């Protein structure tokens, strides 16, 4: 029998939770009546020209009561937190390290094409890509739990601006950039530190745009956009 992937298991768990919540609300009149009234007020707010916002606010509040009161939702949140902590503890043993080595990009064709990027999303676990040569594309990945290291030291960047976008829930991000390319960092975090070369900034529910190479003339620029819920981001030259 083929073993189910983590993604499939999570999907089935979410589906079972949603079905359980629906049955729980339908069979419990204390939960079903606020849901019914909330749906009616939301509908009335959409078709009404007066007091629309009042209807919508009250309707959404009543709609939230049965959902937040559901035992299935509480169990799902508890299980998700435990699962996230377990996977995070596993990923801390070995950071996800991506070493990027590229060839010069070929001229773009006028035809519209679809292309899957070389560097892919990683929700949990570790990924190691070493000594791979491929055409450079802007990086746009999402990581869930764990540390991520992206090494651009051997990258042959095209002239102009190259973009690196990384979104992470919990964990640290380290970016190693070439010494001959300037960088611009746009970082947003709920809790964590941003260290750019030798300058370190503590962040709490804020964002910052950093120009460490302001005033310098370079042919290549790396624009780094990072979004982290909890974790540190470090940018260093190699």
The model's pLDDT over 36-89, given as tens digits with 9 standing for 90+, comes to 998 888 888 888 777 778 888 888 888 888 888 888 888 888 888 887 777 767
Q: What is the pLDDT of residue 227?
A: 92
Rounded to two decimals, the pTM is 0.58
Residue spans per domain, the chain:
6-90, 94-104+119-237
Given a cut of 90, is residue 28 above it in pLDDT?
A: no
CB 129 within 8 A of CB 151: no
Angstrom distance (rounded) from CA 187 to CA 194: 8
Lowest mean pLDDT among 98-102, 179-183, 228-232: 98-102
Are 100 and 152 in contact, with CB atoms under 8 Å apart? yes
- Collapsed DSSP state (helix, strand, coil) of residue 109: coil
pLDDT exceeds 70 at position 91: no
Q: Return mean pLDDT, the chain.
A: 79
Instruction: Say whether 182 sits in a helix, a strand or coil.
Output: strand
pLDDT of 109 reads 53
Q: What is the pLDDT at residue 108? A: 54
**125, 146 in Cβ contact below 8 A?**
yes
pLDDT in tens, 114-143: 666 666 776 665 555 445 555 678 888 888
Tell me, what's the pLDDT at 63? 86
Phi, psi angle pair for 138, to nearest 5°: -55, 140
- Identify the three-state secondary structure at position 232: coil
- Cross-strand bridge partners of residue 154: 101
1 pLDDT more than 50: no
User: What span, in angstroms and rounded, lies between the C-alpha atoms of 56 and 38?
Assistant: 9
């Amino acid at each position: 029998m083929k073993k189910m992937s983590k993604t499939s298991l999570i999907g089935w768990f979410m589906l079972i939770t949603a079905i359980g919540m629906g049955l729980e609300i339908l069979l419990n009149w204390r939960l079903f009546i606020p849901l019914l009234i909330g749906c009616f007020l939301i509908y009335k707010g959409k078709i009404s020209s007066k007091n629309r916002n009042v209807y919508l606010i009250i309707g959404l509040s009543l709609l939230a009561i049965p959902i937040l009161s559901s035992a299935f939702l509480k169990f799902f949140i508890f299980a998700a937190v435990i699962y996230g902590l377990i996977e995070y503890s596993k990923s801390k043993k070995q950071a996800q390290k991506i070493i990027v080595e590229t060839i010069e990009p070929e001229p773009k064709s006028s035809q519209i094409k679809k292309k899957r990027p070389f560097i892919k999303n990683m929700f949990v676990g570790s990924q190691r890509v070493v000594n791979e040569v491929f055409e450079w594309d802007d990086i746009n990945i999402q990581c869930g739990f764990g540390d991520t290291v992206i090494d651009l030291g051997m990258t042959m960047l095209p002239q102009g601006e190259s973009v690196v976008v990384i979104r992470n829930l919990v964990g640290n991000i380290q970016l190693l950039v070439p010494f001959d390319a300037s960088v611009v960092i746009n970082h947003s975090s709920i809790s964590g530190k941003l260290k750019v070369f030798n300058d370190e900034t503590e962040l709490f529910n804020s964002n910052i745009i950093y120009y460490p190479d302001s005033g310098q003339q370079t042919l290549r620029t790396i624009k780094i956009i990072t979004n982290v819920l909890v974790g540190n981001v470090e940018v260093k030259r190699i």
